[in-house]
Structures are given as C-alpha cells and as structure tokens.
Amino acid sequence: MSAVASVGTSVFNISAVERETGLSKDVLRMWERRYGFPSPGRDPHGERQYGPTEVARLRAIKRLMDAGLRPGKIIGLPLDELKALSDARASERPDALAQSFEREIIHLLQTHDAPALQHALAQLVMRQGLQKFVLESVTPLNQAVGDAWMRGELQVFEEHLYTEQLQVVLRTAINAFPRQTTGVPRVLLTTFPNEQHGIGLLMVEALLCPEGVNCISLGPQTPIEDVRRAAIAHKAHILALSFSGAFPLRLALEGLASLRQQLPPQVSIWAGGDMTRRIRKTVPGMVLIPDLASTITALRSWRAHWIPRPGY
C-alpha cells in the first residue's frame, strides 16, 4: 500500500493515475513494457511515481483513443501534437450559429458563475423547447466542453460543474411534464456495468417524455442479468441502453445478443450512444441509435408498427 498522490507535490502512484486517466494499472504497466511510455520514476520501495506532465499526456492519449484512434499511433507523440490532433477533429464541427452560445457557456464555466450558467441553460430550454434543446444545443455543447478541457481551457472541476448543472436543468424540465403512468410505450432506460456516463439516459428521457412515453430509468450500471429481469418485471415495450464512445465494443455486443436471446421478441432493444457508431454490421433484432435524433425516428417507427396486446 503506497502513499496517495500528495496534492502539493503532484506525484501520482499507479492507482492515482488509473483514477485520473481511466487507464487500468495493467495497461499502464504494459505500455511501459512495450512502448517505453510512460516511464515513471520509482520511490524508495520500487513503486512507480508518475509526474503531472506524464499524466497530462496519458489523459490526452486516452481522450483520443476514446475518439477511435489506436494507442500505437499516438503514444509516442508529445503533448502539443496530441492537442493539435484533437483540435483537428474538433474543427469538423458545424454550425457557427450555435458556437457563440457554446463560447458563452464556456466563459461562464471559466468564471465559475454557477447561477448564471444554470440560468443560461434554463433559458435556452424555454426558448427552444426541451426536445430541440437536447438535439441541437446539448450535443455540440458537450463536444465543445470536452474539447475545451482537452485544450486546457477548462479544468476538471469546471467540467464537473457543467455536467451537474446540465443534469439539474434536464431533470427540472422533464419533471415539468405530467407523468405518463399509462403512456405507451413503456421504455426501460439503463446502462451496462462499467459504463459511468448516465447523462445520456437523461437526454433520452428528455426526448421521450414530451412524446407521452412512460420512461422508467434504473440509472447507470445495471448488471446484465438484472436488466433482463427488470425488462420482464416492468413489462417494458422497449429496453433502451446507452453506451459511451469508450465502451468496449465486444462486451456491448455480447451483452446485447444475450439479452435479445433471452427477452421475448415483442420487447424491442435500442442501443444508443457514441459507441454504436463503431458498429459496422447491423445487429439482428436490435435498433441502433447512433445519434439522438434517431431516437425520435425510432419511436415513430415503433408506434407505427405496434399492435396492442392485452396485458402488455
């Protein structure tokens, strides 16, 4: 058991780096063996000590990996080039109109003005309506915040504040709709274990509630077996699962296939989130939702084909 990274000295042990970067201890040791990076110093007991620059580089690498790049291609690059790479990908984004709003939000984050931030978000919800807000504003805003963090313009705690305030605003807006206890379809929302990001669920809920859908969210990280049980117990018409871009493709596909096999065919399974864009083939018996707008399409399609059955 080694000392935690003391805040003042900015030295990280391997556990701290795992926390900070999301790269497992095994991976960190393996990279050191294979690529010679990172190459941390050792403390008197022979344990790895990572410096802040190494951690920053690892963070940048992880972020690019989550965007689809392979480690071997980028692990040798210095921090500048990693940032440049990230910028290049970021510039693919559209819509100069929304960008002024993005800049405003980021400015509010940088000045730590929580009330103004919440006000700005809430006001935009009012102006655009909940669905349009989620579809047209939140997605690019998430991207912009992530990029700003990557470029060092936002600190971690500022990103946390953004996520938290966004959740508050979405939750409030969702609550403003009357609860559809008899709505159809009943949609069960959750994520697989190891999937930390629950904000996607909230965004989907925000899209579906105005459509009169009866949403039941289990929050993130439900074990697969329990997802199955929950879908049956709640007599869900649709099981909606969210996957962030970082989620291992194979784990997702295996879990989904196993659920498809075990659930009755009248239960639709929707798989959404950034990960689904990495899926090449179509998956039998499953609806892929690569972007949020497709949620609405999928709902309309479901409703067009649905045949009411007694008791389900």
Partner DNA sequence: CACTCATTTTCGTCCTAGACAAACGGTTGA
Partner DNA sequence: TCAACCGTTTGTCTAGGACGAAAATGAGTG
**Counting contacts by CB under 8 A, is residue 156 touching a copy of itself?**
yes
User: What is the SS3 assignment for 208?
Assistant: helix
Binding test (CB under 8 A) with a copy of itself, winner from 29, 73, 103, 112: 112
Sign of the dihedral defined by the CA atoms of residues 227, 207, 170, 242, in that order = positive
**Counting contacts by CB under 7 A, is residue 196 touching DNA?**
no
Is 217 or 294 the residue whose CB approaches a copy of itself more closely?
Answer: 217
Burial of 163 (C-beta count, 10 Å sphere; 0-12/13-18/19+):
middle
Contacts with a copy of itself by CB under 8 A: the residue count is 55
| 14 touches, from DNA, a copy of itself, none (C-beta below 5 to 8 Å by class) | DNA
Q: Residue 99 corresponds to which amino acid?
A: Q
Binding test (CB under 7 A) with DNA, winner from 34, 107, 277, 300: 34
Q: What is the DSSP letter of 213?
A: -
Question: Nearest distance from residue 218's CB to DNA, in Å?
Answer: 24
Kindly state the tokens that stand for 40: 């941390």
Binding part of the chain for DNA, among 70-78, 101-109, 131-139, 258-266 by CB under 7 A, reads: 70-78
Contacts with DNA by CB under 7 A: the residue count is 30
Identify which of 89, 117, 86, 123 has the alpha carbon closest to the alpha carbon of residue 104. Answer: 117
Identify which of 312, 305, 309, 241 has the alpha carbon closest to the alpha carbon of residue 279. Answer: 241
Contact 118, 168 (CB under 8 A): yes
Contact 20, 51 (CB under 8 A): no
Question: Nearest distance from residue 94's CB to a copy of itself, in Å?
Answer: 29
**Counting contacts by CB under 7 A, is residue 305 touching DNA?**
no
| 139 touches, from DNA, a copy of itself, none (C-beta below 5 to 8 Å by class) | none
User: What is the SS3 assignment for 225?
Assistant: helix
**Counting contacts by CB under 7 A, is residue 282 touching DNA?**
no
Start-end of H helices in the chain: 14-21, 25-35, 52-66, 71-74, 79-90, 96-110, 114-128, 130-132, 139-150, 156-175, 199-208, 224-233, 249-262, 293-305
Per CB under 7 A, which of residues 217..256 are in contact with DNA? 248-250, 253
| 67 touches, from a copy of itself, DNA, none (C-beta below 5 to 8 Å by class) | none
- Which residues of the chain form contacts with a copy of itself (CB under 8 A)? 1, 3-8, 10, 19-20, 112, 114-115, 118, 155-158, 160-161, 163-164, 167-168, 171-172, 175, 179, 181, 190, 193-194, 216-219, 222-230, 233-234, 250-251, 254-255, 258-259, 261-262
- Which residues of the chain form contacts with DNA (CB under 7 A)? 1-3, 13-15, 24-27, 29-31, 33-34, 45-48, 65, 70-73, 248-250, 253, 278, 281
